Amino acid sequence: GAVVSQHPSWVICKSGTSVKIECRSLDFQATTMFWYRQFPKQSLMLMATSNEGSKATYEQGVEKDKFLINHASLTLSTLTVTSAHPEDSSFYICSAPRDRSSYEQYFGPGTRLTVT
């Protein structure tokens, strides 16, 4: 089946610094990717939809200037957490639909971000 990878799998950074997380579709092209975050014992919360060749669409309440998304190619989307604070510590997961018409998503393994 299709594979979505994320890098890094975990990262620790100091408050005030920026962190970039990569999401790659390894054997298929993804014009759309989704970014989620999950707090402990909570659901996956959709943050934004990443669109290749155009601006990302952010969900209500998500700061677009803080969570910068760039869909650089048909196989790569990046999420940059700018000026990170401890409350940004979370598990970030990306996903990509199997194809343009599919509801089924392939999920990456996630990135654990800890801001100290």
Partner 1 sequence: DQQVKQNSPSLSVQEGRISILNCDYTNSMFDYFLWYKKYPAEGPTFLISISSIKDKNEDGRFTVFLNKSAKHLSLHIVPSQPGDSAVYFCAASGKSYQKVTFGTGTKLQVIP
Strands 57-58 and 111-115 come out as unpaired
**Residues in CB range of 106: below 8 A, 6 or more apart:** 1, 2, 3, 4, 25, 95, 96, 97, 98
Asked if 89 is part of the footprint of partner 1 (rule: CB under 8 A), the reply reads no
Asked if 112 is part of the footprint of partner 1 (rule: CB under 8 A), the reply reads yes
Asked if 44 is part of the footprint of partner 1 (rule: CB under 8 A), the reply reads yes
Taking the C-alpha atoms of residue 41 and residue 72, their distance in angstroms, rounded to an integer, is 32
Asked if 70 is part of the footprint of partner 1 (rule: CB under 8 A), the reply reads no
Nearer to partner 1, 18 or 39 (CB): 39
Which chain residues interact with partner 1 by CB under 8 A? 4, 6, 32, 34, 36, 41-46, 49, 91, 93, 95, 97, 102-110, 112
